């Protein structure tokens, strides 16, 4: 096997003495699309947030591209550029156009010139099918378009892995498909991704592997086929079998 892009080892996280992640182990290979599924409150968001230290883990290691991001010696601001993050709420700056939203971190964090940043922003927005929306403000865009701007913004920094936390949950049903399509295209281009989603049909179709979380632990993992062929007592199978 290759060196994993993301390697989570014996990860624990407590909030005020309450353990919400317990002994999480997960390796994600280059180009792999891993879904994290499970009931609300099982720890999916906390796990993703630990992976770029929006939350500080209590114990364990998270190795991205060979570097343990939990180590105090690691410059997390460098590593965050390698770990693209997309949230349910798109978190775009409302007073900036689509291209300005994408250019911001390229300018501030990567010190690109305005011309370089604009060129990269246009390339990534084009990939997301937004070439006609470059100078639109978030309020002038649909939710699906805003989420695709947020994805373009993360991709623009050249991440090694993309973490997406319920990227379609805030969208009207008719806009979900365009964001799922954007994820299919990222996958086709070889991006490594960890996706938290309740879109079980999409998970069954697109996942290379699924990790089912329950009460702070990964309790079952497998390909969609492996999980779906488990017995009726399997919580992962029950969860994954949901209609949409
Ligand atoms: P999921 O994304 O699977 O719904 P979360 O990771 O959001 O689950 O939450 C896991 C558990 O951690 C829940 O019990 C939640 O209440 C708790 N939790 C999450 N964030 C915090 C926080 N900042 N402070 C205290 N408890 C939290
Ligand atoms: Mg969550």
Is a pLDDT exceeding 90 seen at residue 243?
no
3-state secondary structure string across the chain: CCCCCEEEEEEEEEECCEEEEEEEEEEECCCCEEEEECCCCCCHHHHHHHCCCCCCCCEEEEEECCEECCCCCCCHHHHHCCEEEECCCCCCCCCCCHHHHHHHHHHHCCCCCHHHHHHHHHHHHHHCCCCCCCCCCHHHCCHHHHHHHHHHHHHHCCCCEEEEECCCCCCCHHHHHHHHHHHHHHHHCCCEEEEECCCHHHHHHHCCEEEEEECCEEEEEECHHHHHCCCCCCHHHHHHCCCC
Q: Whose CA is nearest to atom 22 of ligand 1?
A: 15
Is a pLDDT exceeding 80 seen at residue 1?
no
Domain at 1-82+159-244, CATH class: alpha beta
What's the CA-to-centroid distance between 37 and ligand 2, angstroms?
Answer: 10
Give the alpha-carbon dihedral of 175, 180, 182, 188, to 10 degrees: -160
Is a pLDDT exceeding 80 seen at residue 244?
no
CA distances from 90 to 44, 202, 214 (A): 18, 20, 26
Ligand 1 mutation target, pool 41, 44, 89, 195, most atoms within 8 A of CB: 41
Q: Does this complex have an ipTM over 0.90?
A: yes
Ligand nearest to the CA of 17: 1
Average pLDDT, the chain: 97
Is a pLDDT exceeding 70 seen at residue 103?
yes
Residue-level pLDDT at 190: 97
Compute the average pLDDT of residues 208-231.
98
Give the Cα separation of 47 and 213 in Å (integer): 10
Q: Are 34 and 224 in contact (CB under 8 A)?
A: no
Which atom of ligand 1 is closest in space to residue 213's alpha carbon?
3
pTM: 0.96
Is a pLDDT exceeding 70 seen at residue 53?
yes
Over residues 140-158, the pLDDT tens digits come to 999 999 999 999 999 999 9
| Buried-exposed string 143-166: b where 16+ CB fall within 10 A, e elsewhere | bbbbbbbbbbbbbbbebbbbbbbb
What's the CA-to-centroid distance between 165 and ligand 2, angstroms?
Answer: 7
Which atom of ligand 1 is closest in space to residue 42's alpha carbon?
3
Over residues 38-47, the pLDDT tens digits come to 999 999 999 9
Give the Cα separation of 24 and 71 in Å (integer): 17
Domains of the chain, by residue range, sit at 1-82+159-244, 93-158
Residue-level pLDDT at 96: 98
Over residues 168-205, the pLDDT tens digits come to 999 999 999 999 999 999 999 999 999 999 999 999 99
Q: Residue 174 is encoded by which pair of tokens?
A: 């008719």
What's the CA-to-centroid distance between 113 and ligand 2, angstroms?
Answer: 36
């Amino acid at each position: 096997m290759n060196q994993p892009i993301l390697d989570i080892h014996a990860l624990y996280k407590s909030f005020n003495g309450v353990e919400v992640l317990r002994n999480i182990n997960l390796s994600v290979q280059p180009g792999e699309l891993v879904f994290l599924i499970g009931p609300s409150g099982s720890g999916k968001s906390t796990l993703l947030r630990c992976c770029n230290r929006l939350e500080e883990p209590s114990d364990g290691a998270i190795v991205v591209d060979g570097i343990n991001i939990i180590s105090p010696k690691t410059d997390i601001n460098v590593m965050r550029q390698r770990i693209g993050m997309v949230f349910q709420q798109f978190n775009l700056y409302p007073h900036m156009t689509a291209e300005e939203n994408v250019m911001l971190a390229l300018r501030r964090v990567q010190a690109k010139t305005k011309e370089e940043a604009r060129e990269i922003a246009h390339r990534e927005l084009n990939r997301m099918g937004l070439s006609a929306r470059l100078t639109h403000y978030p309020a002038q865009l649909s939710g699906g378009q805003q989420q695709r701007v947020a994805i373009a913004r993360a991709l623009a920094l050249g991440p090694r892995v993309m973490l997406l936390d319920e990227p379609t949950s805030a969208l009207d049903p008719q806009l979900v498909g365009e964001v799922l399509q954007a994820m299919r295209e990222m996958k086709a281009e070889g991006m490594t991704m960890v996706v938290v989603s309740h879109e079980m049909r999409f998970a069954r179709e697109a996942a290379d592997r699924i990790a089912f979380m329950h009460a702070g632990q990964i309790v079952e993992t497998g390909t969609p086929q492996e999980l779906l062929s488990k017995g009726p007592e399997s919580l992962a199978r029950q969860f994954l079998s949901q209609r949409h």
